[in-house]
């Protein structure tokens, strides 16, 4: 564990990387089970599932960075669990990112 001690491993960080690995696994399985063909969407360039995933991930990072810069990370609610778990406004940015990913996969 000392080899990865340089990173701040918290539960949210671990969950993020596990979900990212699962997403890549699902995309690999989809590529094998359902071979894809490039399609041209609103960007007028041929894209594959992987291209659309990459665009979605980059856009999610940009949305979160802009959100932190403009809105901040102030708590918007506190769950009554233990000493109280703060729910930050970043969850709204995450919701916007998920909606934008759906739009990207449907139209790009």
* Three-class SS of the chain: CHHHCCCCCCHHHHHHHHHHHHHHHHHHHHHHHCCCCCEECCCCCEECHHHHHHHHHHHHHHHHHHHHHHCCCCEEEEECCCCCEEEECHHHHHHHHHHHHHHHHHHC
State residue 1's pLDDT score. 56
Question: Can you tell me which residue has the tokens 């979900």?
Answer: 19
**75 or 3, greater pLDDT:** 75
Residue 17: pLDDT above 80?
Answer: yes
Q: How far, in Å, CA of 55 to CA of 44, rounded?
A: 14
The better pLDDT of the pair 65, 82 is held by 65
Q: For residue range 18-73, what is the model confidence (pLDDT) as tens digits?
A: 999 999 999 999 999 999 889 998 989 999 999 999 999 999 999 999 999 999 88
């Amino acid at each position: 564990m000392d080899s990865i001690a340089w990173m701040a491993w918290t539960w949210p960080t671990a969950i993020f990387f596990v979900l990212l690995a699962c997403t890549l696994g699902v995309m690999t399985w989809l590529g094998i089970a359902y071979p894809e063909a490039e399609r041209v969407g609103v960007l007028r360039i041929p894209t594959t599932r992987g291209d659309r995933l990459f665009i979605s991930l980059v856009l999610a990072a940009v949305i979160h960075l802009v959100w932190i810069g403009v809105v901040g990370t102030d708590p918007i609610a506190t769950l009554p669990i233990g000493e109280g778990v703060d729910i930050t406004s970043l969850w709204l940015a995450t919701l916007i990112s998920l909606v934008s990913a759906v739009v990207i996969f449907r139209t790009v």
